[in-house]
Chain A
Amino acid sequence: MFEWIRFILGTGLLCIGVATFILEVFGVFKFRYVLNRMHAAAMGDTMGIGASLAGLMILFGFQFVTLKLALVLIFLWCASPVSSHLISRLEYITNEKLEKYCEVRSEDQNRRISGQED
């Protein structure tokens, strides 16, 4: 019974991860703008990898391999969002027509919001 629950849980998580990856690939080829595509790619790098590695960890059970998988997961979760953040920041700095693609706060609004937070 316990084995069955573990198997179903593991394969379910793996399926969620693979489905996220399919969505990611679809989004990267469907969207035309950098930030949209980056959003799709980062989705797979965080949720897809997280779900599929968690599924594998459950399937492997309590072993040394599980610890290694957890370390891989932590490393990827540290690395991939940071790189996405850098790409988006570069796009924000270099693209002069950013208002065409997304909502951009003006300097005034920025100051007001940061003033409220203080």
Chain B
Amino acid sequence: MSRLIPEEEYGKKPAGAFRQWMSGIRDPYLGNVEVKARAGQDENEELLKEHQEEVVSVIRKVHDVANNSQYILFRKFYKAAALICCLTLTVMLLVTVAYLPPVGSADNPAHNEVAAKYIEDGLQDTGAVNIVTGMILDYRAFDTFGESNVLFIATCTVLILMRNDKKKGKGSAEEEEHRDSFYEPKADKILQTAALILVPFIILFGIYVILNGHLSPGGGFSGGAIIGAGLILYLNAFGFEKTERFFTAKTYKWVSFSALSFYCIAKSYSFYTGAHHLESGIPLGTAGNILSSGLILPLNICVGLVVACTMYAFFALFRKGGF
């Protein structure tokens, strides 16, 4: 590209300045927006006095709340407006409540054919005694798959923001964790004893909630949260050295990946055969047994694993920046 005028002169014109700004050579803000310290403030006493008076007058004008008529007016208006807003909202909500149908009446709009279908055919279709689990892991299994993936994606985002890859030296994960928890009581005997008693029962209870998800209230999400809480308690009591023996980033990666992909493959197969009216070959079993209701039990286990790993990973990432 040939140019008639040299580069320096071209840069003074608007088009040239724009081009230079676009290509990153020139920054118009650099050196023009910074606040500079007043030169010679300490020597010149008159200037100093003037400056002090200025500061005092600003403080008097802005912070003299008792005599500032505008501010007093604003406070009064604010209180009145807040009162009017709250009263209007209260009256509106109360009027709306008065128009709602009574609780439990048979002709409520919630009691339509959708709920009736789930309650009547739920046990027969899914084989799950707990209708809610039958709904979220059979009729709407795709939705639950999305939720499990949301957890996985959330962990990935936290990993991007919080991960600390440095192994040794200043700024490494170990050093930062040590600095953050400098004042925390470490290796506390009372906490360790309590954790030693409680953690096995907490994790056992979580496993029970997951495995019994299709028979009693509970399921993958709540059971996984219980197991995750147990792992976090164990980590708090005994530190990262103990937990990293059995739970590292590699474990997290493989458990999450295999659980999510098993869920995806199993449910794709089930949906494919269901949509084409084929025999899926998955027995529903007797309702009420532990080994029943087809795919719901393995899917519950998958969801529980993902939730437990996610809870633990969140804690470890925020605490140390890696695990």
Contacts and interface: CB of A to CB of B under 8 A. Distances in A.
Interface of A: 75, 78-79, 82, 85-86, 89-90, 93-94
Given A93-B183, A93-B185, A94-B183, A86 B198 contact: no
15 contacts: A75-B198, A78-B197, A78-B198, A79-B198, A82-B191, A82-B194, A85-B190, A85-B191, A86-B185, A86-B191, A89-B185, A89-B188, A90-B184, A93-B183, A94-B183
Chain B CB within 10 Å, residue with most, of A75, A82, A86: A82
A78 B191 CA distance: 10
Dominant secondary structure at the A interface: helix
B314 to A, nearest CB: 20
Nearest to A87: B185
A47 B188 CA distance: 24
B39 to A, nearest CB: 42
A87 B190 CA distance: 13
A8 to B, nearest CB: 34
A24 to B, nearest CB: 22
Interface string B163-197: 00000000000000000000111001011001001
A78 B197 CA distance: 9
Interface residues of B, number: 9
A53 B243 CA distance: 35
Contact of B183 (A75, A78, A79, A90): A90
Contact of A78 (B184, B185, B188, B194): B194
Contacts of A85: 188, 190-191
Nearest to B185: A89
Contacts of B198: 75, 78-79
Contacts of B185: 86, 89-90, 93
B128 to A, nearest CB: 23
Contacts of B183: 90, 93-94
Nearest to B202: A75
Contacts of A93: 183, 185
A78 B190 CA distance: 10
A82 B197 CA distance: 12
A79 B198 CA distance: 9
A61 B96 CA distance: 43
A-B CB proximity, top 6 nearest: A89-B185, A82-B194, A94-B183, A93-B183, A78-B194, A85-B190
Given A78-B194, A89-B185, A90-B183, 9 more contacts: A78-B197, A79-B194, A79-B198, A82-B191, A86-B185, A86-B191, A89-B188, A90-B184, A94-B183
Contacts of B197: 78
Contacts of A79: 194, 198
Contacts of A89: 185, 188
A82 B198 CA distance: 12
Nearest to A94: B183
A85 B183 CA distance: 15
Contacts of B191: 82, 85-86
Interface in B40-96: none
A82 B190 contact: yes
A76 B197 CA distance: 13
Contacts of B184: 90
Nearest to A82: B194
A31 B271 CA distance: 61
A94 B184 CA distance: 9
A78 B61 CA distance: 58
A64 to B, nearest CB: 13
B288 to A, nearest CB: 18
